[in-house]
Amino acid sequence: MPRTTVDGTTVHYRTEGQGPGLLLVHGTGATGETNYGHLVKEFADRHTVIFPDYAGSGDTVDDGSPLTLEQLADQVLGAADEATDEPVDVVGFSLGALVAVMAAARRPERVRRLVLVAGWARNDDLRKRLGFTLWRRLADLDPELYSHYISLLLFTPGFLADLDAETFDAAVGGAEVNEGTLRQIELGLDADIRELLPAIGVPTLVVGCRHDQLVPVDHSRELHEAIPRSTYLEIESGHLVPAEAPDELVDAIRNFLT
């Protein structure tokens, strides 16, 4: 797996395909592979797909300090810099949506278009804060309950009820507790990007998940309303839309990028 060093962090990433760059930014507790590996073939026929692991995920190694959106944005763009000199389209899922916005704010010349999936703008929603705080505290109290709890929030009830164990493990990576994921959850509790949104000047698609129990869909609607001239659509899915509704997500991204 290729790697690059960004401000002392060794960032691991993968690339596949040829064409304009498409940077895929994963969510909390995931990697580029777990969120997007099964979707890459849908884009690699017309894009150079770049899917890095930012700090706290995969084989990327940093100093273990608290994470910031600025750091993670620099890391994923560092991977893009290794793959292409041209501006890239950026897809961010969940926490990755916030990282994508920060990337566009910090280095607008490197971002051509944005797709923000199941993201949020603010950190003062009590319901979301309760969910994230319980998620974080369960990691210290009982790793099995931690895994069960987040799994209940990631999917719609019907989809989860029909999953077999192998498919479930592939989708959520076992929802294991690790130090990197905990730092990412803590960043998700603190992150607030409202002041960045009015200045986003690139074409942007915001994708909401209608049945999202982790980050309720109103947060995606707020992102759309705050980003000038953005486009919005909703998918019938729970939060983990890359696993629950991959075809619909791929169609939305491809239609926007073309």
Q: Catalytic residue positions?
A: 94, 212, 239
SS3 191: coil
CA 181/CA 187 separation, integer angstroms: 10
HSE, side-chain direction, 13 A CA sphere, residue 67: 30
Sheet strand arrangement including 3-6:
3-6, 9-16, 48-53, 21-25, 88-93, 111-117, 204-209, 231-235
CA 33/CA 49 separation, integer angstroms: 12
CA 126/CA 107 separation, integer angstroms: 32
Strand 3-6 and strand 21-25: pairing?
unpaired
CA-CA-CA-CA torsion for 208, 239, 187, 75, nearest 10 degrees? -80
Question: Bridge-partner residues for 11, per DSSP?
Answer: 4
Identify residue 9 by its one-letter amino acid code. Answer: T
Closest of 10, 51, 50 to residue 31, by C-alpha: 51
